[in-house]
Chain A
Amino acid sequence: MTEAMAPAKEEGFQPSILAFCCNWCSYAGADLAGVSRLQYPVNVKVLRVMCSGRVDPYFVMRALELGADGVLITGCEIGDCHYISGNVKAKERFERLSKLLDQIGIGSERIRLEWISASDGIKFAELMEEFTEHITNLGPSPLKGSATGGV
């Protein structure tokens, strides 16, 4: 797992993407994208948590290991966190996790941290579009099918 694996681009590759959304802002933004009928790729599945500060880096690692090609962590804009500073903590953890992913050859480009407000359905839809394209270009995760039941 430590050797860098160059992803092979596959024909018709449809990436699997998991998006963590916080209950108060980004999940509401995702709902608003729906209310506004903004269309975006099917590849993303949302997992709701109360706060982006609830997202354990291990959740992200586990998703990648199990076959996620990309993982998004989204929360309230800095300063807007319902729990004051959960998103700040999410950011610190994200930075550490990014380094780790680079070190072990998976690549931090497969994960992304974004702030999406409850009134920004457009940003949510655009992010889904853009991130799906980005992951499609990266190709399948080098970890795909390699899960062993623990990191």
Chain B
Amino acid sequence: MSDEEGKIGAVMVVGGGIAGMQAALDLADTGYLVYVIDSSPSIGGAMAQLDKTFPTHDCAMCILSPKLVATGRHHNVKLMMASEIDAIEGEPGNFTVSVKRKARYVDEEKCTGCGLCTLRCPVEVRDEYNQGLKLRKAIYLKYPQAVPPVLTIDRDNCIGCGVCETQCVAGAINFSREEELVKVDIGSVILAPGFSGFDPGLKSEYGYGVFKNVLSSVELERMLSATGPYRGMVLRPSDGRMPKRMAFIQCVGSRDVQVGNPYCSSVCCMFAIKEAIIAKEHTPGLETHIFFMDMRAFGKEFDEYYIRAEEEHRVVFTRNTRVSSVSENPETNNLHLWYSEHGKMRREEYDIVVLSVGFDSPKDVEKLAEKLGIELNEHGFCQTDMFTPLDTSKPGIYVCGAFSSPKDIPDSVAQASGAACRAMSDIAGARGALVTAKEYPPEIDVSGQEPKVGVFVCHCGINIGGVLDVPSLAEYAKTLPNVVHAEDNLYTCSQDTQQRISEVVREKGLNRVVVASCTPRTHTTIFQNTLKEAGLNPYLFEMTNIRDQCSWVHMNDPERATEKGRTLIRMAVAKAALLEQLRPAEVEIVKSALVIGGGLSGMTAALELSKAGFDAHLVEKDSELGGLLRRIHYGLSGEDLQGFLKRLVKQVEDDDRIHVYTNAELKEVSGSVGNFTVVIDSEGEETETHQGVIIVATGGEEYEPTEYLYGKDPRVMTQLEFEEKLAKEGEIDAKCIVMVHCVGSRTAERPYCSRVCCTESVKNALRVKEMDPGIAIYSLFRDMRTYGFREEFYREAAEKGVVFVRFLEENEPVVRVDDQGRLEVIVLDDILQEELLINPDYLVLAAATLPARGNEELSRMLKVPLNSQGFFLEAHMKLRPLDFATDGIFLCGLAHLPKFFEENVSQACGAVSRALSILSQDTLEGEAIIAVVDESKCRGCGVCVDTCEFGAPSLKQLEDGRQVSHIDEALCKGCGSCSVNCCNKAISMGYFGTGQILSMIESCFPETETPPAEKEVAEVKEVTET
């Protein structure tokens, strides 16, 4: 069970939301056994409730459901749903956890998730998933795509009539189940319990729960969803009418000392913008208004999104205001919103008012904290410190996601990977100890054999058999060409039927298998494993969907549905006969990583790689390590950063596994995941090395302002320079200081927010006040973006007398030297609508953070993209924040976007976790369904190279001098676009080959006799080029 030190190679992840799933997948991919426990009957968490995600408007379920399926099906992940931790004992690397598992009254092994039971259940109750806007049954699946796809009986509401039991052909209902206590041995724990939504009823002045047309932002989200109560339409609860005017009230349960939530919830500003845009898209003629104090658009492309919302989508923004109350016109149920603008009370009328609810700490988290012995902060979130943002107060227990502070999806995902990295480092020696690869018999080579197809048609209880004539389908299948066996099964996916398929394959010498049942999206792997057990290559399998896309959608037309079933089976058999054995390419992994950039992120990454047992080659362009951190002296709570940096550099330099190159740059990078060849020029000397993965941590730099007399007057300096002055001199001789925010950020040239400067300004202002409370400080800002718990420092600064003055973009402060040689700052205070004239001793500029200078060249060398601002662009802005689309290359820190110290540490650990999922393996299995070039047909035009988004094709020279395309098997994702674009049809696809697809088309329309498809392929050219 464990390695020689008694460490256990298993991790428990508490919470199955997006953070918990990401942590679980990283761990499982790296060779750890993972237990995911969640109090809910299914994984998915809060993200499963979302319609779209900001700022890209990705459909939340589209990007979430592959993660759900991957987590649910991973052979190293065990889901423990409806469970909670009861007790924990032991020490880091070796814990025993008692888990209380509630009974779901449905056998997880037997339930197929068909949902027939719900149709007849007589009890209807409030559907929490749809925020009570819809009803569900007492036996239910939390949401249609839920994983595991197992129903649950809600015994609080079930009347025990037993109708579900009579409906369940699988015999999965079991009322006698009881709660059980299970003991699990693990090495580390990751906490990802998420958050709970603030109860808007507590802000009684907004009338939630009293006025029908006041909604929470989560309720609106469900309305916007196609699976929501009104199929994506926004309707007024009072009369079902489409609204014409909708208002969003921000900071409901955030930045509000009165309700006990003084912190900022970090996501609601963007969430409201997204809903305001989508609601307009769903509702013709709708006007949407957002009332807010500061627009906290601090993430990647958020400010651009904010600008688009206002300029393109015509969302109306009302700044600087906290809405004081909402009242209702009882006749129309319209709502009056009362607020003050520039000191005057105003009233506006709306059809719907949406309350942007903030984040509370997760429900019942105090109990969990007590059982685990971890400390919570004063707001009930997990206590962490800036140097170890992923560690709880108890060794061996780590944290990620909203539980450590309110945050959005990408930040949660990055942290989740980071927490996985931390959790692994305690049990690095036990990696792989508890996971075993399944052994299969040697594969029988069927190439050259005549196709012998076996067809298995599933009744799926009565899900298919209740509509289609399944036995007749099996009989029909027997008449098709190449079919040597066909039968029908009650459940083709059941354990015993799979055994049977295996036997039939051997007995009858089948070399192709077709299953006609449910969806290949969830069930292909099950049947492919059955083929492997029977000694067949898994790609000799084809599946056709006669349930989700036939019996379930044509329930009232059984005869024609059966006819359609025949067609679908005919198509599947036709393709099956042409299937070929596929073997994924194997790449040997070089067990070493290249880390580009020796700042905080790069050094953290190198150290974590070393702890995991891998070499790191750390390349730094300067003569010493440290990057931008060399210029930052203290943290928000006074932490000594230079002391920390010294220790960090020493640790890196003393580590035998870390090879540091200073004054270094990359000369050349070639190869792909598993084996990159890298030429490094360090101190004028070139070294060639081989690396399995690459982590990009190139950092950033401070903008050198051209505004506000910077560089012309020594009293004008940047925040970093000012911080240096404060740290070195320990005092400051001044009566008045002015700070200006957004210098070089949020401009036409640089439309992004530099994220850290508001907080850095507050930090330095507090530092000055500490040195001398008598110094007057004016902080001139546009939106104060002290998100999360940083908000409290903003409040503290205001309390200590720092004067915060808001100015609008169009009224930038004017700075000059007056005739007495004094600095003079003139600014229009937007709130008071008064012009202020200040004569400061120092003018401190919160200068933008710029991407590192070498990014462009590096981007070309690594063939990974930059965004329009010069920061590196990740594979997916929501769910793959640390990956590039090119496998084996990762990013972290300021290379991705300006961010805080603790965020850089989280991301660096996260990038390492992503890298470890590759480095921990000896060989990497690529995709099996990939493009293959027929070199005899290829004329080397290179269209495929331009078509591919993943850099898989390249041109190579043959011995006879001809240039042809070559597909890097490790990089091809199998989309098939190159195959379509190929002028000579020299590229074909595995499993979705042109001949295979054409054979399906031909058998779909059988009335016409035609020659075989393959002969026509050459003629395709004429059509595609027309």
Contact = CB atoms under 8 A, between A and B. Distances in A.
Contacts of A6: none
Contact of A63 (B58, B59, B1004, B1015): B1004
Contact of B1005 (A32, A68, A96): A68
Interface of A: 16, 18, 23-25, 27-28, 30-42, 45-51, 53-59, 61-63, 66-68, 76-77, 79-80, 82-86, 89, 93, 96-97, 100, 117-123, 125, 145, 147, 149-151
B1020 A37 contact: no
A89 B1007 CA distance: 32
Contacts of A122: 226, 231-232
A34 B549 contact: yes
Nearest to A16: B1005
Given A39-B555, A48-B520, A77 B977 contact: no
B231 A49 contact: no
B57 interface: yes
Contacts, number: 201
Given A53-B976, A123-B226, A63 B1001 contact: yes
Nearest to B947: A89
A31 B521 contact: yes
Interface stretch (B369-377, B562-570, B724-732): B562-570
Contacts of A89: 947, 977, 980-981
Contacts of B567: 45
A66 B62 contact: no
B65 A118 contact: yes
Nearest to B56: A79
Interface stretch (B10-18, B604-612, B990-998): B990-998
A121 to B, nearest CB: 7
Interface in B94-146: 115, 144-145
Nearest to A34: B548
B885 interface: yes
Given A31-B521, A45-B571, A67-B1008, 18 more contacts: A23-B521, A28-B65, A30-B548, A31-B519, A32-B227, A33-B553, A50-B975, A63-B1005, A66-B1002, A66-B1005, A67-B1005, A83-B977, A84-B885, A117-B61, A120-B59, A149-B1011, A150-B1019, A151-B1022
Contacts of B60: 119
Closest 7 CB pairs of A and B: A34-B548, A54-B976, A119-B61, A83-B975, A67-B1005, A53-B977, A34-B552
A42 B554 contact: yes
Contacts of A77: 59, 62
A149 B994 contact: no
Interface in B537-561: 545, 547-549, 552-557, 560-561
A47 to B, nearest CB: 6
Contacts of A53: 975-977, 980
Given A39-B556, A46-B545, A117-B61, A57 B975 contact: no
A149 B1010 contact: yes
| Residue of A49, A53, A100 with most chain B CB atoms under a 10 A cut-off | A53
Contact of A66 (B521, B980, B1010): B1010
A118 B61 contact: yes
B66 interface: yes
B549 A150 contact: no
A79 to B, nearest CB: 6
Given A23-B521, A45-B567, A63-B1001, A83 B548 contact: no
A54 B977 contact: yes
Contact of A79 (B57, B885, B975, B1010): B57
Contacts of A24: 62, 66
A40 B227 CA distance: 17
20 contacts: A31-B545, A31-B549, A37-B552, A38-B553, A41-B554, A42-B557, A45-B568, A47-B571, A54-B980, A54-B992, A56-B979, A66-B1004, A79-B58, A83-B973, A84-B949, A119-B227, A121-B144, A122-B232, A147-B1008, A149-B1016
B430 interface: no
Nearest to B225: A119
A10 to B, nearest CB: 15
B929 A50 contact: yes
A36 B226 CA distance: 11
B436 interface: no
Contacts of B51: 119
Interface residues of B, number: 75
Interface of B: 51, 56-63, 65-66, 115, 144-145, 225-227, 231-232, 519-521, 545, 547-549, 552-557, 560-561, 563-564, 567-568, 571, 885, 929, 947, 949-950, 973-977, 979-981, 989, 992, 994, 997-998, 1000-1002, 1004-1005, 1007-1008, 1010-1011, 1013, 1015-1016, 1019-1020, 1022-1024, 1026
Nearest to A126: B231
A45 B885 contact: no
B949 A83 contact: yes
Given A66-B1002, A66-B1010, A76-B62, A150 B226 contact: no
Contacts of A63: 1001, 1004-1005
Contacts of B520: 48
B1020 to A, nearest CB: 4
Given A42-B554, A118-B65, A151-B1023, A49 B1007 contact: no
A47 B1004 contact: yes
B385 to A, nearest CB: 38
Contacts of B553: 33-34, 37-40, 125
Contacts of B981: 89
B549 A30 contact: yes
B949 A85 contact: yes
A45 B1004 CA distance: 8
A55 B561 CA distance: 26
| Residue of A41, A42, A86 with most chain B CB atoms under a 10 A cut-off | A42
A8 B578 CA distance: 37
A58 B995 CA distance: 12
A27 to B, nearest CB: 7
Contact of B145 (A16, A32, A59, A86): A32
A91 to B, nearest CB: 12
A66 B57 CA distance: 39
B564 A118 contact: no
B1024 A58 contact: yes
Contacts of B997: 47, 49, 56, 59
A108 B56 CA distance: 32
Contacts of A121: 144, 226-227
A66 B977 contact: no
B564 A42 contact: yes
Contacts of A100: 1023, 1026
Contacts of B1019: 150-151
A69 to B, nearest CB: 10
B568 A66 contact: no
Contacts of B66: 24
B226 A54 contact: no
Given A35-B115, A42-B560, A63-B1005, A47 B1023 contact: no
Nearest to A40: B553
A44 B224 CA distance: 28
Contact of B979 (A34, A54, A67, A147): A54
| Residue of B225, B568, B992, B1011 with most chain A CB atoms under a 10 A cut-off | B992
Contacts of B1005: 16, 63, 66-68
A51 B976 contact: yes
Contact of B1007 (A31, A67, A151): A67
Contacts of B974: 50
Contacts of A93: 980, 1024
A59 to B, nearest CB: 6
Nearest to B979: A54
Nearest to B1024: A57
| Residue of B51, B62, B65, B520 with most chain A CB atoms under a 10 A cut-off | B62
Nearest to B1003: A66
Contacts of A45: 564, 567-568, 571, 1004
A117 B519 contact: no
